[in-house]
Structures are given as C-alpha cells and as structure tokens.
Structure 1
Amino acid sequence: MKKPTLREVFTIPNLLSYFRLLLIPLFVWLYLRAQSTRDFALAAVVIGVSGFTDLFDGRLARRLNQITELGILLDPVADKLTEGAVIFCLATRYRWVVALVVVYLLKEGFMTVAGLVMLRRGKKLDGAKWFGKVCTFVFYLVVFTLILWVEIPLGLANALIALCTGMMLFTFVMYARVYFYMGHEKDY
C-alpha cells in the first residue's frame, strides 16, 4: 500500500470511519456505567449512530468517487473494533456471551490470517458476502435487543445469544469455504 496523501486521508467516508472509532470508547464508557433504562438507551444510540454512519460510508465513497486504499482498510477495522467492544461489554451482563466472544475471535482471526495469505498470493476477497451481511444484521438486532431491553428474561437473552453465535459460526464456515476455493483458484 502506497503512502496515502492528505487528500486521501481526509475523505468524507474516512472521516466517518474515524468518527466510528471515536464512538467506541464512548459506548464502552456509557454501557459499563449504565444503571438505568435511560443509560442503556444512550449507549444504544451511540451504537445506532455508529451503525448508521457505517451504512453510508461505503455508499458515499462510491458516489463521491472517494474510494481509497486507506478507506478499504479503515472501514472493516472500525467495524470489527466496534463489534468486539459491544461483545465484550455484553459479556459483563450475560454469561453466555463468552461463547459468542470465542466464535467471534476465531472467525475474525481466521479472516485476518486467510486475508493476508490470499493478499500475499495476489488475491483478495471481493467485498462482503451475503452471509456476512446477514450475520451483521442478526448481530445488531440481537445487540440492540440486549442493550435496550434491560429486563429481558434470561432464557430469551440466552436464546438470542445462541442465535447470534450460531449465525456467526455459520458465517465463519462459509468464509472458510470461500477462502478455500480462492486458495485453489476455483469459482466460489
């Protein structure tokens, strides 16, 4: 990757990614100190704003012709750090989130290593796949439910966590399959 110019560093989509990175410690602080429904709602608003900006940074990059190598790297880093922070915060309230943490770390670790291996071979993943997008949707649906519904019955919370963990595991397997075929130069 060549050194980005100042103009490439400060594109509108990249500024949105920087903003999302700044929202992470704010969310963690709000969530970990939350004691009332209002406090948890504030934490959810921060994650909502982060998700909203994530939704538009890629579209803006394409529409404004501001796609940069830095942005291609920065956007998923902001996504994964946000997801990781949310999962670890939820683990302070819900014991079964530990399973989600393990699957998340395995999936993201695999994706990082496999992506680097493919990059060294001159190949790269052509954007997020449908199952990755569905997984992200399920993740945020479960996260918002667990953050906003402060008095959620534990059985329902555990079922939602299991759903999210299962979806993440499915996505992990599907991406492993994609990378396997990429490594063997087959169509996937």
Structure 2
Amino acid sequence: MKINKGDWLKIPNLLSYFRMLLIPLFSYVYLTAITIEDYIIAAGILFISGLTDALDGYIARNFNQGTQLGKLIDPVADKLTQLAVAIVLFIKWPIVLYLLLLFIIKEFSIFLISYLLFKKRKIIDGAKWFGKIGTIVFYSCMFILVIMPEISERNIIVLILLTSIFQIIAFIGYMNLFFNMYKEA
C-alpha cells in the first residue's frame, strides 16, 4: 500500500483522526455522567462522531479525496468507536457483555481473515451493504442506550438482541464473501 505525502492532510482523513480523538472524550463524559444533560452531551459527541463518519465518506467519494490511508484509518476509527461504546455501556449495564463479546469475536475474525486474504493479494474494497446496515443498527441502538440512562432492562435486552442479530447477519455475510474470495485465490 502506497501512502502519498499529502494523504495525511486530506479532509476525509482529518475527519477520521477527529473521530479517534472523540473516543476518549465520549468515554469520559459518559462514564462521569450524572445528570440527563451529561448523557445528552455524551450522545451528542457520539452523534458528531457518526456525522463525521458519513461526511468523510461523502467527501472522499464525491470530491476525489479518497486515499489508501483513508481506506485504512476510516474503518479503524469506526471499530475503535464501536468498541469504546460497547465497553462503556458494559460498564453501566453488564448485560451488554454478550454484545461486546460478539463484537470482539466478529471483528477479530474479520481482521484475521482479511489478513490472510491480503497475503494472497486479495482485499475487499469498502464495506458491504450488510456491514453498513449492521453498523447503522449498532449506532442507532447504542445511541438510544446512551441518551436514555433510565431505560428499562427489558428494553435494553431488546436493543442488544436487535443489534446482535444484525451483527450476526453482517458476520455471516462477510464470512461468506471471504470464503468465496479465498477459494478463488
């Protein structure tokens, strides 16, 4: 992978760096939240993170700002943000452990298989529809949990199950894609 000198300062990449900087800020604000206003601020930070994620992709595609570096750091920023959200929610609600473990298993498996395919000079160019839907559902459900600190345990379970179902669908979709790519290689 060739990274050009100017790629570091392209707007989509700057937005990805910004998203990474939001991770500790979000985590701190959420974990120290006491009032509903504190939780709204944490949710606002998470919303800004999601907005910059959508914006960096839009700018990269529509203004010829896509780079090899961006193809690396954008998904890293996404996964680190998702991991941080799952961890802080697990700290507040231990039942989130099941979703956290599913997320770790899914992402580690995808990373490992992507690495094996990379060694065979095969890569996936961008996220697939099932991965995008899984991410949208993840952020939507986690946003609800962040902004509603007094949500009932029954509703927490429903949101975790819904998120888990879409994470499993994405996982199966990527495993099927990887298997077919590996067979072709």
**Interval of TM-score (by shorter of Structure 1 and Structure 2):** over 0.9
Could you tell me which residue of structure 1 aligns to residue 139 of structure 2?
140
Question: Structure 1 CA distance, aligned partners of 2:145 and 2:59?
Answer: 30
The correspondence of residues 103-142 of structure 1 with structure 2, limited to 5 A, is: 103-142=102-141
Give the counterpart letter for 2:180 in structure 1. Answer: Y
- Aligned-pair CA distance for 1:63: 2.0
SS at structure 2 position matched to 1:92: helix
Give the counterpart letter for 1:154 in structure 2. Answer: E
Q: Does 1:73 align with 2:75?
A: no
Could you tell me which residue of structure 2 aligns to residue 157 of structure 1?
156
- CA RMSD, Structure 1 to Structure 2 (Å): 1.2
SS at structure 2 position matched to 1:125: coil
- Aligned-pair CA distance for 1:137: 1.1
Structure 2 unaligned regions, length at least 5: none
- Aligned-pair CA distance for 1:66: 1.6
Q: Relative to total residues, which structure has the larger helix share, 1 or 2?
A: 2
Question: Structure 2 CA distance, aligned partners of 1:78 and 1:97?
Answer: 21
Could you tell me which residue of structure 1 aligns to residue 31 of structure 2?
32
- Aligned-pair CA distance for 1:3: 4.5
State the aligned residue count: 185
Q: Does 1:172 align with 2:171?
A: yes
Could you tell me which residue of structure 2 aligns to residue 4 of structure 1?
4
Question: Structure 2 CA distance, aligned partners of 1:14 and 1:170?
Answer: 29
Superposition TM-score, scaled by structure 1 size: 0.95
Could you tell me which residue of structure 2 aligns to residue 62 of structure 1?
61
Identity across aligned pairs (percent)? 42
Which stretch shows the higher mean deviation, 134-143 or 163-172?
A: 163-172
Give the counterpart letter for 1:42 in structure 2. Answer: I
- Aligned-pair CA distance for 1:52: 0.1
Give the counterpart letter for 1:160 in structure 2. Answer: L
Give the counterpart letter for 2:4 in structure 1. Answer: P
Give the counterpart letter for 2:115 in structure 1. Answer: L
Per-residue CA shift, 1:126-168, capped at 9, x if unaligned? 3211111111111111111111112111111111111111221
Structure 1 unaligned regions, length at least 5: none
Question: Structure 2 CA distance, aligned partners of 1:81 and 1:161?
Answer: 19
SS at structure 2 position matched to 1:126: coil
- Aligned-pair CA distance for 1:58: 1.4
SS at structure 2 position matched to 1:119: helix
Which stretch shows the higher mean deviation, 44-53 or 88-97?
A: 88-97
CA contact 2:29–2:41 (8 Å) conserved in 1: yes
SS at structure 1 position matched to 2:30: helix
Q: Does 1:15 align with 2:14?
A: yes
